[in-house]
Amino acid sequence: MSEKYLTHYQVLGVSSTATEREIKIAYRKAARITHPDHGGDPAVFRKVTEAYEVLIDPAKRLAYDKSYSSPAGSYGSPRTSGPGFDAGSTSSFTTRRTQEKRNIAGDPAIYVPAYEDLRPGEAPLLPRVVAAQPVHGAPRKRGVFGAASRLAREARTAQLIMQQVLPAIPAARLINGLTAPNGAGYLDHVLVSGYRIAIVGSMLVPDGAFRWDGATLVHGNKVVAPPALIPATRALQNLFPECNVTAWVCVHSSTGNLFEPVIDYARGCEPDGSNVVNVANAARFVREAKHFLAAGPVPNVVDLHVLGRLLGGMY
């Protein structure tokens, strides 16, 4: 990857969980190599200094992480081809690991870059114990009004994903509680597997039948607006152009029945992953979200760069 697109962590060669001491040590080493007085490139030295000044300051580092560690001078990763690029789900895994043909969602997870390929003393983008965790974060209380009901439905959705989605896709990672990349509120859950990202919101609705017209749920004479996920989805897509980013709203019924509520769909609004936002009851959400994640070119890959940046966005 071009130096122009490296995150501050990559510039210093430390993981996103690096301590203050590790950052200082890495900076001293990098500064000695890149300093113009030692024959280094002044532009590279400036990048090293900028990275250090941000990461050594707790407030600046937190703000940087909340921006999903966007590389300076770019709005996300430059990758539009290569390993796992999911442009219309037609690309293929193009590194040497393609010979292994391990591109089935149920296969063991492959980490990219591979931990086995690290040079002696080289820090991984994420510690292996962190990258191996299937679930990160938890629903947290936000605001004053409606916090209890929001926590309840978020917990119900998280439990559903942990029980019925993650076991089928070993490389899938669930991240709870991210700051919205467009600066407006929070994202309840994000699922990532390979180079597909699913933003997941949830609703708890009354009993009965509903109709989804692509924008609102209609229940009798009442209109129920789902969470506004389109701006966040588009912003996250801009931040991660190498990924296919799609949003889902999991609609829970008060009865706890996964097949309720019954939702009738207008033509072209079926929740099959082809829309920016897909709305479905719990049973259909599980089925379609699993298909969306598994249908990617390399669903058994855990990209440490993508995962690390997403983890930095947790509130």
CATH number, domain containing residue 8: 1.10.287.110
Residue 150 shares a structural domain with residue 272 = yes
- Amino acid 95: pLDDT: 39
Q: Are 279 and 251 in contact (CB under 8 A)?
A: yes
Q: Residue ranges of the alpha helices (H) in the chain?
A: 8-12, 20-34, 42-55, 58-66, 128-131, 147-164, 230-239, 282-294, 304-312
Residue 147 shares a structural domain with residue 283 = yes
Q: Are 258 and 234 in contact (CB under 8 A)?
A: no
- Amino acid 7: pLDDT: 86
The residues, any chain, with a CB within 8 Å of residue 159's CB and separated by 6 or more, are: none
Tens of pLDDT along the chain (315 residues) come to 445 567 899 889 888 888 999 999 999 999 989 988 888 888 889 899 999 999 999 999 988 888 888 664 443 344 433 444 454 443 333 334 444 555 788 899 999 999 998 888 788 889 999 999 999 988 776 655 557 778 888 999 999 999 999 999 999 999 998 888 877 688 999 999 999 999 999 998 888 889 998 888 898 888 888 888 999 999 999 989 989 999 999 999 988 899 999 999 998 899 988 899 999 999 999 999 999 999 988 999 999 999 999 998 887
Residue 48 shares a structural domain with residue 191 = no
125 — phi, psi (to 5°)?
Answer: -65, -35
Which of 48, 66, 84 is the C-terminal boundary of a domain?
A: 66
pTM > 0.85: yes or no? no
- Amino acid 226: pLDDT: 86
Q: Are 125 and 308 in contact (CB under 8 A)?
A: yes
Residue 179 shares a structural domain with residue 292 = yes
Judged on CB neighbours under 10 Å (0-12, 13-18, 19+), 219 is: middle
Residue 149 shares a structural domain with residue 58 = no
Q: Are 34 and 40 in contact (CB under 8 A)?
A: yes
Residue 165 shares a structural domain with residue 282 = yes
- Domains contained in the chain, number: 2
Q: Residue 297: which domain range?
A: 135-312
Domain CATH number, residue 300 = 3.40.1350
Residue 274 shares a structural domain with residue 141 = yes
Structure tokens, 175: 């991240």
To the nearest 10°, the Cα dihedral for 94, 77, 285, 163?
Answer: 80
Q: Is residue 84 one of the residues assigned to a domain?
A: no
First-last CA distance in the chain = 28
Residue 53 shares a structural domain with residue 174 = no
Residue 198 shares a structural domain with residue 299 = yes
d(CA 77, CA 242): 7
Residue 163 shares a structural domain with residue 306 = yes
Q: How many CA atoms lie within 13 A of 261 on its CB side?
A: 23
Structure tokens, 171: 């490389």
d(CA 54, CA 283): 44
The residues, any chain, with a CB within 8 Å of residue 6's CB and separated by 6 or more, are: 47, 71
Cα distances (angstroms) measured from residue 220 to each of 174, 207, 209, 262? 35, 11, 8, 13
d(CA 13, CA 174): 26
Nearest to 227 by CA among 258, 196, 205: 205
Residue 20 shares a structural domain with residue 142 = no
Which of 16, 44, 66 is the C-terminal boundary of a domain?
A: 66
Which of 20, 38, 66 is the C-terminal boundary of a domain?
A: 66
Residue 295 shares a structural domain with residue 153 = yes
